[in-house]
Amino acid sequence: MWGRYARGIESAEASLYASIASYHDILVTISAEVVRNYVNYRTFQERVLLSERNIEIQRRVVRITQIQYETGDVTELDVQQAKTQLYNTESALPSLKIGMMQSRNALAVLLGTLPEQTEILLNDAQISAKVKAFDNKYQAQRNQRLSADYDEYSLIPASPDLYPRIDAGLVLRRPDLQLAELQAQAQNAQIGIARADLYPSFSLFGAIGANSTVKAGNDFSFSDALNLSLGPAFSWNIFQYGRVKNNIRIQDARFQETLTNYNKQVLLAVQEVSTALSAYQLNQTQKTLAFNSVDASVRAYNISLTQYENGQISFERLLNSLEKMTRSEDAYAIVKGNVANQVVALYKSLGGGWEAQTGRAFIRPDTQEQLQNRTDWVICLMMRYCLH
């Protein structure tokens, strides 16, 4: 009557879909965290491999310097400088392995598996074969490293090419914006429910029963007499007009609060998309510059190694070029990881992959089986809702 029940259904339906939007929002967040930790794992893994390769180079330099010192070609200062650089590189390796382990364990928690099972999913055996192919090519070049190999054998996921312009309609697909919108719809319906209290309420009531008597032996005996009551009911809060009006104002104020929250969420969403897109573009530029730095440092090391073996430059210049190559390689790996993470941030700011949940159940099959075994959930589990 007076739209009370229609607005109640509208509010309940909006609340249902709001809970589904909240589920999608959590799903997007978890998916982004999984990818982010995977990127971090591969980034640390590549940095570890680069560090180990540089350690092998520096050990070779230490051996050469030690031989030259024993033959009197260089001083002990050159030997100690070579060892210092080697020890500095070796001391940074454990922290990289710790970061790699932390990322792996974080992945295990997000995927609901043990760390040992996560290692199987990461397929590090195939990665090792990829690294071995690089090492074979590396050895074939007489320890002179080729900068073109860095992206070909990179362990960090390559970032796709993204367009600089984003349609505003994509932002509105974000689950958190859908949640805020549906919450506003549900609260708007509450205003209609409150307004219905201004008007009288009509209803019908009825009851039916039979007379019974108890005889010896505790047996029941039913007579032919039936009790039947039927009639209308009328109620009107006419003497509580002030309370009803205040309740309408309260519901309207709450609706205004949901509208303000929706506007805030839209502004935050636009800000996140703009920030993520700008950061991605700037990181792409940084990646290009970092690659140029790697390319120049590798060329400089190759030239300095050849000139040092021919006695054309000092040992200090060789160490300097080796140190710069080590730093530029590590910086390039970090930048590649940052670019991949910015892609993740951009996808998350746009609400992730919207097609991922279409036509799929919200409850995993193994969880459904557990619920069904404990309680009769078969009817509830057959009901699947999706946001369109």
In this predicted structure, what is the pLDDT of residue 91? 94
- Give the residue carrying structure tokens 């069904």: 372
Closest CA to 63 of 86, 89, 93, 90: 86
Name the band, by pLDDT with cuts 50, 70 and 90, for residue 36: very high
323 vs 248: CA distance, rounded Å: 72
- Give the residue carrying structure tokens 């392995």: 97
* Maximum distance among all Cα pairs of the chain, rounded to whole angstroms: 126
What is the percent of the chain where pLDDT is above 70? 78
179 vs 147: CA distance, rounded Å: 48
26 token code pair: 């959590």
Break the chain into its structural domains and give their ranges.
4-195+239-357, 200-238
Is pLDDT of 74 > 60? yes
Is pLDDT of 142 > 60? no
In this predicted structure, what is the pLDDT of residue 264? 93
Average pLDDT on 197-214 reads 71
In this predicted structure, what is the pLDDT of residue 289? 94
Closest CA to 290 of 257, 336, 252, 357: 336
Closest CA to 274 of 163, 349, 177, 340: 349
Q: Which of 36-45, 154-163, 298-307 has the highest mean pLDDT?
A: 36-45
In this predicted structure, what is the pLDDT of residue 256? 94
59 token code pair: 């050990």
261 vs 186: CA distance, rounded Å: 14
Out of 1.10.8.60, 3.30.70.1350, 1.20.1600.10, 3.40.190.10, the CATH code matching 4-195+239-357 is: 1.20.1600.10
3-state secondary structure of 364: coil
* Contact criterion met (CB below 8 Å) for 35 and 322: no
Choice between 125 and 120, residue whose per-residue pLDDT is larger: 120
Helices 175-195 and 241-309, interaxial angle, to 10°?
Answer: 180
Averaged pLDDT of the chain: 81
* Contact criterion met (CB below 8 Å) for 75 and 380: no
166 vs 178: CA distance, rounded Å: 19
Amino acid at 184: A
Q: Is 184 exposed, middle or buried, given 0-12, 13-18 or 19+ CB atoms closer than 10 A?
A: buried
Is pLDDT of 3 > 50? yes
* Contact criterion met (CB below 8 Å) for 213 and 223: yes
Is pLDDT of 384 > 50? no
- Whether the CA torsion 318, 320, 321, 326 is positive or negative: it is positive
Average pLDDT on 319-328 reads 90
Name the band, by pLDDT with cuts 50, 70 and 90, for residue 353: low
Average pLDDT on 21-47 reads 90
316 vs 324: CA distance, rounded Å: 12
